[in-house]
Amino acid sequence: MKILFLARQLNIGGAERQLVTLANELADRGHDVVIVSYYPGGALSNKLDSQRVRLISLGKRSRWDLLHFYLALVRVVRQERPVVLHGWMHTQNVFATFAWMVNRNVKLFWSVRSARLFPLTFVATVEEWLRTRLSRFPDCIVVNSVAGLEYAASKGIPRAKMVYIPNGIDTTLFYPDATLGQRVRAEWSINDSEKVIGYVARFTPLKNHQLFLKAGAAIAAERPETRFVCCGHGDPSYLKELQELSRSLGIEGRVRWVQANPDVTAMYNAFDVFCSSSLTEGFPNVIGEAMACGRRCVVTDVGDCRSVVDDTGVVVPSNDVEALAAGLRRALDVGASLNLPARQRILDNFTVAHLADRTEQALLRWTTCKPVSV
């Protein structure tokens, strides 16, 4: 069938990577897939299979360029005539609904890809309120985490319309490779006797890098051979605060700050331990990717982190420095061997094939249902 996804932009990010992965797989299975984006470009746009997936930009000129943007979206939907119009998170769900209102022969899907976001800005609060009131219109609401489903239900999103489809990790892209890891460690001037604890996340307070750095300082005081890597992108002023914190903790010389890039497989393989200290998550892509690379993961017990890691890693309470430091010690004490059970858990439960199979089942189920009553 023909599926039109509405996305903001294909920048580096977990949700964006999942969209590109799903679009490529659905197209490979014979579906006609189109991604319509608010803005052109994005670092992940070149990861699309351009022979099978079309990318159309609506040319949104600014945050408040709403009327021109909306009319362009309506025009594209009418021209493309998809079977399914699929919003991909946040305002994309809202605008997909507005476009559906003048194209009601199309099936409307939403995507909810986060659990609770806090603190909510004024715009985010209004957006959440609007989504709740519009949630009677979509035929299906795809949620990628149990935590996200429960939060959405608590805010009034109809539970009967929601279907849980966890993320799919591309295990052909994320895999154990000691040579790749050694190359990156050499670039960082880190030798084989040193241990590397890495964190890949946007530079935003929700990811709680402060906790990572404070636990890192406790580890560094005991184990001088330990190094830390923070990879991501985000608010430069927040990044500066984090760098200042590393100085005040006395670990400035042990922390490397790396700009996010589309290919992080080599970086995962350079880590001895992967850490996630986040305050909130839905389904955390980076944890699944690190597991697929055979890394030992130490994660905070938020969102679906515990169910993803299961017994292949260490789960600790959120925002607890001592607990996180203890978890990192446990992971470091295991040694440098590959965490093959972690990769096997991804292969058994969270592959791209699993993602596409479950998505096709939802598409088939809801596109054969009667249109939503209004």
Amino acid at site 264: V
- Domain-located, residue 173: no
Are the C-beta atoms of 273 and 324 separated by less than 8 Å?
no
Paired sense of beta strands 226-232 and 296-300, if any: unpaired
* Same domain for 285 and 209: yes
The reply to whether 374 falls in a domain is no
- Establish if 113 belongs to a structural domain: yes
Whether 372 is covered by a domain: the verdict is: no
Let me know whether 255 and 334 are in one domain.
yes
Q: Is residue 373 part of a domain?
A: no
Listed in sequence order, the residues at least 6 apart from 134 whose beta carbon sits closer than 8 Å to its beta carbon are 93, 94, 97
What is d(CA 358, CA 57) in angstroms, rounded to the nearest whole number?
Answer: 28
Regarding whether 135 and 203 lie in a shared domain, the answer is no
294 & 222 share domain = yes
Are the beta carbons of 229 and 266 closer than 8 angstroms?
no
pTM summary value = 0.91
126 and 237 assigned to the same domain: no
Residues 163 and 218 in one domain: no
Tally the domains of the chain.
2
pLDDT 10s digit of each residue in the chain, 374 long? 999 999 999 988 888 999 999 999 999 999 999 999 999 988 889 999 989 999 999 999 888 888 999 999 999 999 999 999 999 988 899 999 999 999 999 999 999 987 765 556 777 788 788 888 999 999 999 999 999 999 999 989 999 999 999 999 999 999 999 999 999 999 999 998 999 999 999 999 999 999 999 999 999 999 999 999 999 988 899 999 999 999 999 999 999 999 987 678 999 999 999 999 999 999 999 999 999 999 999 999 999 999 999 999 999 999 999 999 999 999 999 877 799 999 999 999 999 999 999 999 999 998 886 544 43
Alpha helix stretches (DSSP H) within the chain = 14-28, 66-80, 90-100, 122-134, 146-154, 178-187, 209-222, 236-248, 265-270, 285-292, 305-309, 321-334, 340-349, 352-367
**Residue 343, both tokens:** 């990769």
The answer to whether 290 and 220 have CB atoms below 8 angstroms apart is: no
| Same domain membership, residue 363 and residue 324 | no
- Could you tell me if 106 and 223 lie in one domain? no
Phi-psi region of 265 (alpha: psi -120 to 50; beta: other; left: phi over 0): alpha
9 with 103, same domain: the answer is yes
Rg from Cα positions in the chain: 21
Q: Are 129 and 157 in contact (CB under 8 A)?
A: no
Same domain, 42 and 149: yes
Say yes or no: 201 and 271 in one domain. yes
Q: Which residues touch 30 (CB under 8 Å, ≥6 apart)?
A: none
Residue 221 falls inside a structural domain:
yes
Q: What is the CATH number of the domain that holds 119?
A: 3.40.50.2000
Do 147 and 50 sit in the same domain of this protein?
yes
Name the residue range of residue 203's domain. 178-349
- Look up residue 178 and give its two tokens: 């000691």
